[in-house]
Structure 1
Amino acid sequence: MDRDDRLLAAEYALGVLPHAERQRFSARLEQEPDLRAEVDVWEGHFEPLTNEIEATPPPPAMYGLIEQRLFGASSTPATPKGLWSSIGFWRGLAFASLVAIAVMASLLFATLRPTDAPEGTYVANLSGETNLVQLVALYEASSGQLRLNRTKGEAAAERDFELWLIEGDNAPISLGVLPREAHASLQVPAALRAKMPGGVLAISDEPAGGSPTGQATGPVLAVGAISQI
Structure 2
Amino acid sequence: MTSEPTDMPEDDALAAEFALGLLEGGERAAFAKRLREDRALAAKVTYWQAHFAGDGSEIEDLAPPPRVKTKLMQAIAPEGARKKGGWLGLRGLFGGLALAGCVALAVFLMQPPADGFAPQYHADIAAQDETLLLTALYDPEHSLLEVTVDAGAAPTGRVLELWAIVGEAAPVSLGVLNADGPSRLTLTEAMAAGLTTATLAVSEEPPGGSPDAGPSGAVLAAGAVTAL
Shorter chain as denominator, the TM-score bin is: 0.5 to 0.7
CA distance in 2, matches of 1:123, 1:69: 21
CA distance in 1, matches of 2:168, 2:135: 24
Report if aligned partners of 2:80, 2:95 keep a CA contact under 8 Å in 1: no
> Partner residue of 1:203?
202
> Partner residue of 1:224?
223
In terms of fraction of residues, the more helix-rich structure is 1
Unpaired stretches in structure 2, ≥5 consecutive residues: 1-36, 55-71, 113-117
Q: Confirm or deny that 1:183 pairs with 2:201.
A: no
| AA at the equivalent of 2:101 | A
Report if aligned partners of 1:202, 1:223 keep a CA contact under 8 Å in 2: yes
CA displacement at 1:51 relative to structure 2: 3.2
CA distance in 2, matches of 1:152, 1:191: 29
CA distance in 2, matches of 1:41, 1:183: 27
> Partner residue of 2:137?
138
CA distance in 1, matches of 2:156, 2:95: 35
Q: Confirm or deny that 1:64 pairs with 2:83.
A: yes
| AA at the equivalent of 2:139 | E
* SS of residue paired to 2:190: helix
> Partner residue of 2:50?
51
CA separation of 1:191/1:61 partners in 2, compared to 1, >3 Å: closer, same or farther?
A: same
> Partner residue of 2:9?
none
CA separation of 1:68/1:206 partners in 2, compared to 1, >3 Å: closer, same or farther?
A: closer
1:55-94 equivalent positions in 2, closer than 5 A: 62-65=81-84, 67-68=85-86, 70=88, 93-94=96-97
> Partner residue of 1:194?
193
CA distance in 2, matches of 1:163, 1:92: 19
CA displacement at 1:206 relative to structure 2: 0.7
CA separation of 1:165/1:58 partners in 2, compared to 1, >3 Å: closer, same or farther?
A: farther
TM-score, normalised on structure 2?
A: 0.59
CA distance in 2, matches of 1:42, 1:193: 33
Cα RMSD (Å): 3.9
CA distance in 1, matches of 2:134, 2:207: 20
CA separation of 1:214/1:92 partners in 2, compared to 1, >3 Å: closer, same or farther?
A: closer
CA displacement at 1:205 relative to structure 2: 0.7
TM-score, normalised on structure 1?
A: 0.59
| AA at the equivalent of 1:47 | T
Report if aligned partners of 1:159, 1:208 keep a CA contact under 8 Å in 2: yes
CA distance in 2, matches of 1:157, 1:92: 28
- Larger RCO: 1 or 2 (CA < 8 Å, sep 6+): 1
> Partner residue of 1:128?
127
Q: Deviations over 1:161-218 (max 9, x none)?
A: 1110000000111111111123221112122223101100000011111111121111
CA displacement at 1:54 relative to structure 2: 5.5
CA displacement at 1:130 relative to structure 2: 2.7
Q: How many residue pairs were aligned?
A: 166
CA displacement at 1:144 relative to structure 2: 1.1
CA distance in 1, matches of 2:41, 2:144: 22
* Worse overlay, 210-219 or 182-191: 182-191
CA displacement at 1:61 relative to structure 2: 6.0
